Amino acid sequence: MHNALSALTAELRRLKTAGVRTVAVSDESIAALKSVLLVRRAEKQKAPPAGAVAGMDSPGPRAASREMTLASVQPDRATPESIPLPAVPTVTLPAGDKAARWAALREIVLSDTTCRAHIRPGKKVVFGVGSIDAKIMFVGEAPGGEEEIQGEPFVGPAGQLLTKMILGMGLKREEVYIGNIMNWRPELLAAAGASQVGNRPPTAEEMRYCLPYLRAQIEVVNPDLLVALGKTAAEGLLGFGTFKALGDVRGRWHEFAGKPLMVTYHPSYILREPTNRKKRLIWEDLLKAMERAEQPISEKQRGYFLDK
Ligand code: URA
């Protein structure tokens, strides 16, 4: 039934893109759609649905068919809940050394059918990269356009800035570990066959699904500390609703999976406003991480971005 619904939404999307605003729908089709939506709603609410589906119940102008407006039709990939997420995965790693366990985990994530169901043709599920002996693990929210092409976190514009920040810390990109909470790029509305334009933050449910994979990477790599990049990553790690503004939690130590967690801004924040004042804010958080990881810090490094 899910496939049939996907095919239907794809066709409606195609018509909408072609400029069609209304379609005639037979009573029989409406009844079939209603039953699917009722089942979904019941599954979501884990309770028997009460009443009918909004907008599908009023008597139509014609007996044999009704008109459905396409303005409300969202393609499958535009709605996060359109591909239902199963229970969060349980990760069981094989015995073996660190490298073997990491490689096994990578394989598990890259072949996860739920992750794969959320990527568009030709795009990649994204797993963490870097040193499996890293002391510092950076955690972002989700892959973007460039990341899903290359199958590597933080390789787009924000990633290039992150790489510069890491170099400023006296480290190479390959010496830290870089991961995301999400392993797929959250989908946005796009016409059939077209590329996704723009990103959206992952939902709490999506992050819950992928979190076991991040936890497992933390377990295998066993870094000294984590650095969460941006509000969404911080929410994913600290819990939704635990803070209002990023300023409430950034620059301070928290804990996730038994590891000290520093929260700072996402590099894209600096891309939007590349002032020394903003750079210094992130830099001060990174200095704290360097100190805690017992990374040497020169006087020059301590003074970066002080001239506002
Ligand atoms: N932003 C993120 O949070 N993660 C990436 O991998 C890229 C951009």
213-226: average pLDDT: 98
Cβ < 6 A, ligand 1 pocket: 140-144, 147, 153-154, 156, 158-159, 180
Q: Measured between alpha carbons, how far is 93 from 101 in angstroms, rounded to an integer?
A: 6
Q: Which of 180, 214, 227, 268 to mutate to test the pocket of ligand 1 (most atoms within 8 A of CB)?
A: 180
Global pTM? Answer: 0.76
Strand order in the sheet with 136-140: 129-130, 177-180, 136-140, 225-229, 259-264, 253-256
The count of residues in the chain is 308
Look at residue 49 in the predicted model and tell me its pLDDT.
33
Is the per-residue pLDDT at 200 higher than 50? yes
- Residues pairing with 178 in the sheet: 129, 138
Q: Return the exposure string of 109-148: e unless at least 16 CB atoms fall within 10 Å of the residue's CB, then b.
A: beebebbeebbeeebbbbbbbbbbebbbbbbbbbbbebbb
Tokens of 103: 């490689």
pLDDT digits 0-9 by tens, 66-109: 333 333 333 343 444 457 799 999 999 999 999 999 999 999 99
Per-residue pLDDT tens digits for 129-153: 999 999 999 999 999 999 999 999 9
Mean pLDDT of the chain: 82
Give DSSP secondary structure letters for 42-57.
Answer: HHHHTS---SPPTTS-
DSSP lists the bridge partners of residue 129 as: 178
